[in-house]
Structure 1
């Protein structure tokens, strides 16, 4: 069992979309849930989460890798690249050169490493447009994981995440249900028993084309346009945000699943 977990990444790992006023940065997320379960099973367990929303993969590696290695973790999670794939242009092959170098450095310390593929956005009009990019990214991640004996959480194969009920209103981030699903899968990959469970949801309601258009217009006004404005201005949602757990520290024992 691991005693020191360090999580690296962007909003996915920070926990954005899973609002919790009692949590650092006001968000909980899958990484916190995993840490809680590990802490309940391992005396002296400590956890740091360096992930910051809006970060591109080179920023994640450039800003978070060295502090993470300095903590001498025995378990590391790394996800990055989602924000890069949404940019108008991206060199995926070039991007993954730095990613693999970071993976090699982490694995050279002897730490276990958990990597992630991207989610399949087939059900969402916005993410369907970059589905091919995500598929290429995923194949490169799978190859890197295999070459460096890293564990892999295959979000693409988690078909439940194609259901919008697992996503926050902004459609960019998982909600509490979605983060719980990811935590369950991470714990499964780690071989850790836990009490977390998936929700039993009723069949999805079929919306009329008019209702879907209305929802899409509301989403565009409330979420898409502000995102585009930030891109035009060269701003990021993480510009004024600090890491929620910048140093290794103990974690409260696992609460009742929610």
Structure 2
């Protein structure tokens, strides 16, 4: 699979959200009773908001939230915790899971986005979760999901609104599911290893690299050391534009992946 450099033109996305206004009833005979119901509804909304904030605090520390804001993220991630047919969620109860382990020397934030969400300065990520040094978090993905992820740390920067580091990419859609490490955004990025049930993609194997010794590329890249059947599930091909495509496939109808995030 490969999609991180094929979407060259970004449409400007509006970030506004609509807020629904509560309308108080005007029937005088029931004003007091209706008012009590309205107040209960307000208290319920406030309670749910507080619960949500506590949940978010457990997933993304205040320090990491501030880091994302400083870097220029449009917002923290959705961070769903219940199974979904459309977005990833935190937990290990999905058909497709990925356990992310932080083996770097720093606490990090894992950022996960969908197929048009890599411009995190404009698009709300699907996941932004704190992973301390030595820690791990598991994310479940719905059928048909396609997207990518990258680590965020104190030394991270955004270039053209994208995380300037090594990316992991995946599509979970049986029987064509595939995952790979992509180094095109930053050939000097941090190490990453993705282990599927049958195949491994890392900084040197089944990995997308820039050609010609350049540090970053949108074209002129290759899928390296990933000949078809060079390891079980590995495959190599070309997309409709003639660019290299492939990675670690052979996942069947469900799979548990492991991604190791290093220095």
Which one scores higher on RCO, CA 8 angstroms, separation ≥ 6?
Answer: 1
Structure (1 or 2) with the larger CA radius of gyration: 2
Structure with the bigger percentage of strand: 2
Whether TM exceeds 0.5 here: the answer is no
**TM-score, L = length of structure 1:** 0.26
Structure with the bigger percentage of helix: 1
